[in-house]
Amino acid sequence: MENQQPIQSTYDVNCKVVGVSDGDTFTCLTNDKQQLKIRMNQVDAPEKNQDFGQASKKALSAMIFGKVVGLKTNGTDKYGRTIAEAFYDGKNINKAMVAGGYAWAYREYMTDNEYASLETTARSNTTGLWSQPNPTYPSDFRRMGKGQTTAPTQTQEIATTIAPTVSDSGASCGSKRYCKQMVTCAEARHYLNDCGVSRLDRDGDGVPCESICN
């Protein structure tokens, strides 16, 4: 039997994770065998049928499945799920999912700005889902699935809002991550040198996207 880490008394609930539905939802059992469905607070993971959805679920499972976690709860959602931040061995699992590029900061319900900062860092480092071209904010994906919109409006708005300014170049770092997205060699050099998108220089010779920078 796995030795469980002691749970701090500051948590509202302690429970053992017995199932993981996706990258932001899991089921756990309390000491009195009460089953709780948990919707992780302030994060939104890709849907199971969305790009990186299965990878997100697998990452969360690796972190908490079979383990006793502490929960800081924040009521319930319209589906009756308990909204909570989950902790294991003192680590905030919600934030770890965002930092690892397995979930987005959930703008509609975010109260802690650190989630957005962690997402920005993961995006800049092309970590996890940010290694994919043009990832779609899960809320947009769900709306498009219901036919409510034809364009990922929040995805575009978020990319514009969080793009850091590059002070010495006078340009900004957008969401482009691949050579096929670059229009000019100058743009490719900007993303490599100013924005740190190292994938543009696969052979490490300092020349990005050699198909256009030759």
Catalytic residues: 39, 47, 81
Q: What is the DSSP letter of 97?
A: H
Among 161, 164, 169, 175, which residue's Cα sits nearest to residue 194?
A: 169
**Strand 165-166, strand 82-88: pairing:** unpaired
- Which residues have CB under 8 Å from 59's CB, separation 6+? 23, 97, 100, 102, 128
DSSP summary character for residue 56:
H
- Tell me the C-alpha distance between 76 and 67, whole Å: 22
Identify the CA nearest to 184 among candidates 150, 214, 149: 214
Q: What is the 3-state secondary structure of 5-21?
A: CCCCCCCCEEEEEEEEE
